[in-house]
Chains A and B, each alone.
Chain A
Amino acid sequence: MRRFEPSGFLRDLATRWDVVAFIVVIGLIAFLGEASRGLFVPLSQLEVVPLSLDPSHLPEYAARTTLRMLAALGLSLLFTLTYATWAAKSERAGKLLVPILDILQSVPILGFISITVVFFMSLAPGRVLGAEFAAIFAIFTSQAWNMAFSFYQSLRTIPTELAEAADSFHLSSWMRFWQLEVPFAMPALIWNMMMSMSGGWFFVVASESISVGHTTVTLPGVGSYIALAIEQKNLRAIGWAIVTMLLVILIYDQLLFRPLVAWVDRFRVEQEPGVRMPQSWALTMMRRSRLIRGATVAFHAAVLWTSRAVHPPGRAAPSPRKPGRSLDLLWVALVVAAVLLGIWHIGAVLVANTPLAEALHVCGLATLTMLRVFILIALASLVWVPIGVWVGLRPRAAAIVQPIAQFMAAFPANLLFPLAVFGIVTWKLNPDVWLSPLMILGTQWYILFNVIAGASALPAELRYAAQNFGVHGWLWWRKVALPGVLPFYVTGAITASGGSWNAAIVAELASWGNTQVEARGLGSYIAEATTAGDFHRIVLGIGTMSLFVVVINRVFWRPLYYHAERKYRLT
């Protein structure tokens, strides 16, 4: 059973380039925030798309939501194939591009939807198109970074002999890309795509209905349907939406990802016989259908044809030239300029508009959210690690539970928020406590399915040995089970923690009809700033959250991950 590798874990704790990347990324967001303030006016003239809570509209809404997902996936692929290739092929560019990806991964996606909405709407004023772009962009940001990371890492780890064979048979760089590099990267890329997709549903739901200032942007889709249902306190409609989403994800999984995963298995370089091949009924069907076969052949032919057309006949260039000195200087100048611009924008937006008290206040809120995330991860671990181990050691149970856990991870937990808020409002519970579990509602499953994967990967002989020596009870947990699944658990916990920070923005401030419940924290701070259309505070919130996530990753999760990998990885 495969494990989801957290992508983009650079070995170093922090380098100069990380600082540069952080400044550039936050500077860009600050710039967008600043620009958006000026563009804010046209937003109010947005044509209103009437929505209906009639379930008969749901198929159409679901289709539109799905289309958005697909569009974003396409964009993410495009980004991956270009950005990651650039980062991998150019040593100079890679030094900056890779840390930028790492920082981008830590930026809360929901945080800057409001900024991008305004930005994209200004490109197509008064039209829904701008909002569509913004929604697609939000989904894109939830998928692209880790796909690009996985592709980059694959490009950097192509086995020497495969690359040498390509060289010695004179493959042109275009042919090399499509015949060697892309196929080699495919299994990891598809796996990451599937993982990104699970995250994507969450954001598509959140990005379809956004209020910035006094304007509400609504795009027809399952997300906006549910937002309307919340506004009208319609529990039945929420039920319908949940059922629809379940179906959509199921169809996506069965028709798109399972076939893909089964198909890319042939691209795997390490080929041990005896490992069970992933199965997919849809793939089997497609393989047998002439249409699909024709498409595959056509694709292959296209690759070969373009390989002939793209590169002028003659020999491929033997070896890359050393970059010139003037180019080096130009590059350094560009980086310095980007950093200066970044500092300037951060200064103009953040520092100039933030009194010290506000900054301290935000840090305090971030600490609160951080506490929540850690406590919740700990609680979820207490529950799911024993269950995961139990399930993972029983192949039959694992075969049933594992797909469910993966499915639950994909299900957008924000669809369930209204139910929780309804409960909190009805029984008058303390939101500071009871809103918190929502943050981990969708992300706890990463812990479960990673632990299951880890427990199933525990070699049978190690288990027999434990039995043979009569190791059981607490000793067994301490010396066998827990160390055995630790690397997997850490991976799951890292993913869960990252997801929870993102979810905080929707979880800490939730509403039911006209009633709002709020938990104090950085998430609700950003959410409130968004509703108020206060761009300084949005940027401040995003910047702080990114900083917290980056620092926690570098100081806590990353060392833990490497420790677990080194000490407990069974090879």
Chain B
Amino acid sequence: MTPLLQCNNVRKAFPKPDGGELLVLEGMNLELHEGQIVGLLGRSGSGKSTLLRLIAGLSEPSAGDLTYLGQPIIGPASGIAMVFQSFALYPWLTVFENVALGLEAQRMPRAEIRKRSLAAIDLIGLDGFESAYPRELSGGMRQRVGFARALVVHPNILLMDEPFSALDVLTAETLRTDFLDLWSEGRMPIKGVILVTHNIEEAILMCDRVLVFGSNPGRILSELKVTLPQPRNRLDPSFRELVEKIYVEMTARPAGATAAGRQERFPGLGIGSVLPQVSSNLLAGLMEAVAAPPFNGTADLPKIASDLQMEIDELFPVAETLQLLRFAELEGGDLKLTADGLAFAQAELDERKRIFTRHLLTYVPLAAHIRRVLDERASHSARKSRFIDELEDFMNEEAAEQTLRAAVSWGRYAEAFAYDDDNAMFSLENPT
């Protein structure tokens, strides 16, 4: 049987202004068969949304093939519909008009449009809201309109781009359950679903298969079959096991790297690596949490994520920054503080700053570079543009700005250097 959808060796790169390219997705292989929900799980920047847009025909791959029912995907295919993270409803159209829009575009007879739109509205539980405008609806109701709008065109494949992430926990749970009910009862006209998410539990709750994405560039780290019967229970030990397994996958060392050198764990870490924007408060907070009981220096990621109510999108950047600064190690689904990490967690403010400064200037080459330039100059000051230019040899403009902002924020906390935003100058003087 032909799969609903097939991706072969798909690659996506964006051109950079200097003529190079920014690789966001590589070696993507994916098959969607009838009756399946496939989850694409990863952090932001892992290219999962990019892949979804390629499948939706909203952008074109740089290499590789995408086929829908055996036909190559060129532009949006008529059997593929999408549900958006921000709902993407037209605020000037009523619920009914929003739902009917896709059918209008197909030039369907009026009576048919009406019949099908009302049926979709009915199915998704929006009866009575037909003449409401999106602004009158709560977030959950808005996303229901998003679902109805996608279902009304009777797609074979439904694409969902983090459809529940803009909703509060309770609403998201209700909507998920309703969706799974409709799906398992076969009341929706769809044959397969692709769900993009950064929520591990959501992926395991909903999907038959989960593809775990890694970043830089986006690629599939591993594939996981979920065979638990629906409805699934989060507290079920086999459910927890799967969660743990995914955390382990996500913290695994990249293939090829061995324990021989720590440097390998941080791909391309030089002055040209993009730094995440993580505030020193979060860093200190996570170190304190891990140092304190019950973790006592080593925290199981699923446990600490649920304790601190952080999703992987929030937790991983902080944890990885700790790793980058050598305050902690990420391995086997655990976050383990180093000796200095523990010392930091127990120290007073001044001592903390001393430890932080040492690590910042040793392990973050950009910070060390800024400090060196400032030390060497007689004026002890340097323009921001100078560093931006240097960074732009390695990354795009936006990433360069972000990276420098991260360096500024850590440098300020460490009091390693000062930065004056008004005239965009770095200096060694701190205002007194």
Contacts and interface: CB of A to CB of B under 8 A. Distances in A.
Interface of A: 159, 161-162, 164-165, 167-172, 175, 179-180, 183, 186, 266-269, 271, 273, 304, 307-308, 313, 315-319, 567
A307 B84 contact: no
A199 to B, nearest CB: 28
A164 B106 contact: no
B88 A170 contact: no
B82 A267 contact: no
A38 B55 CA distance: 63
B74 interface: yes
18 contacts: A164-B53, A164-B58, A164-B84, A164-B88, A165-B90, A165-B149, A167-B76, A168-B58, A168-B76, A168-B80, A175-B105, A266-B92, A266-B135, A267-B91, A304-B104, A307-B104, A307-B105, A318-B57
A179 B102 CA distance: 12
A161 B86 contact: yes
Contact of A319 (B60, B80, B102, B149): B60
A112 to B, nearest CB: 38
Interface string B49-86: 00001001110100000000000001110101110111
B126 interface: no
Contacts of B53: 164
Contacts of A271: 91, 134-135
B101 A168 contact: no
The 4 closest A-B pairs by CB, nearest first: A318-B75, A169-B102, A161-B88, A271-B135
B307 to A, nearest CB: 32
Contacts of A169: 76, 81, 101-102, 105, 149, 153
B105 A269 contact: no
A393 to B, nearest CB: 28
A567 B420 CA distance: 13
B133 interface: yes
Nearest to B93: A179
Contacts of B92: 183, 186, 266-267
Contacts of A168: 56-58, 76, 80-82
Contacts of A164: 53, 56, 58, 82, 84, 88
B107 interface: yes
| B interface majority secondary structure | loop
Contacts, number: 82
Nearest to A271: B135
A566 to B, nearest CB: 9
Nearest to B103: A169
Interface in B336-362: none
A162 B149 CA distance: 13
B101 A171 contact: yes
Contacts of B422: 567
A303 B358 CA distance: 66
A266 B133 contact: yes
Nearest to B107: A308
B76 A165 contact: no
A161 B90 contact: no
A161 B159 CA distance: 14
Nearest to B133: A266
B75 A161 contact: no
Which of B58, B76, B78, B149 counts the most A-chain CB atoms under 10 A from its CB?
Answer: B76
Interface of B: 53, 56-58, 60, 74-76, 78, 80-82, 84-86, 88, 90-93, 101-102, 104-107, 133-135, 149, 153, 422
Given A164-B53, A266-B92, A317-B75, 4 more contacts: A164-B84, A175-B104, A307-B104, A319-B75
Contacts of A180: 90
A304 B100 CA distance: 11
Contact of B91 (A172, A269, A318, A567): A269
Given A168-B80, A168-B82, A162 B135 contact: no
Contacts of B106: 170
B424 to A, nearest CB: 11
A183 B106 CA distance: 21
A269 B135 CA distance: 9
A429 B382 CA distance: 57
Given A164-B56, A169-B153, A267-B92, A318 B105 contact: no
A170 B93 CA distance: 17
A150 to B, nearest CB: 17
B109 to A, nearest CB: 11
Which of A172, A175, A179 counts the most B-chain CB atoms under 10 A from its CB?
Answer: A179
Nearest to B82: A168
A164 B49 CA distance: 13
A169 B92 CA distance: 17
B189 to A, nearest CB: 16
A307 B101 CA distance: 11
Nearest to A183: B92
A456 B101 CA distance: 39
Which of A167, A180, A186 counts the most B-chain CB atoms under 10 A from its CB?
Answer: A167
A67 B91 CA distance: 33
Contact of A170 (B76, B86, B90, B134): B76
A161 B104 CA distance: 19
B84 A165 contact: yes
B97 to A, nearest CB: 8
Which of B56, B80, B84 counts the most A-chain CB atoms under 10 A from its CB?
Answer: B84
A167 B81 CA distance: 10
A165 B82 contact: yes
A319 B61 CA distance: 13
B101 A273 contact: no
A162 B105 contact: no
A161 B85 contact: yes
Contacts of A268: 91
A167 B58 contact: yes
A162 B134 CA distance: 13
A161 B84 contact: yes
A171 B88 CA distance: 14
Contacts of A183: 90, 92
A487 B431 CA distance: 27
Nearest to A307: B104
A267 B92 CA distance: 5
Nearest to A172: B105
A316 B58 CA distance: 13
Which of B78, B81, B106, B107 counts the most A-chain CB atoms under 10 A from its CB?
Answer: B107
Given A161-B86, A167-B58, A169-B153, A318 B104 contact: no
Contacts of B78: 170, 315
Contacts of B91: 266-269, 271
A458 to B, nearest CB: 22
Given A168-B80, A169-B153, A318 B74 contact: yes
A273 B76 contact: no
A162 B146 CA distance: 12
Given A183-B92, A266-B91, A159 B81 contact: no
Given A169-B105, A267-B91, A271-B91, A159 B86 contact: yes
Contacts of A167: 57-58, 76
B11 to A, nearest CB: 18
Nearest to B75: A318
A317 B102 CA distance: 16
Contacts of B60: 319
B88 A165 contact: yes
A169 B58 CA distance: 11
A179 B90 contact: yes
A306 B330 CA distance: 59
A227 B134 CA distance: 52
A418 to B, nearest CB: 46
A184 B90 CA distance: 9
A269 B133 CA distance: 12
B256 to A, nearest CB: 36
B207 to A, nearest CB: 22
A445 B75 CA distance: 51
A475 B93 CA distance: 49
Contacts of A162: 88, 90
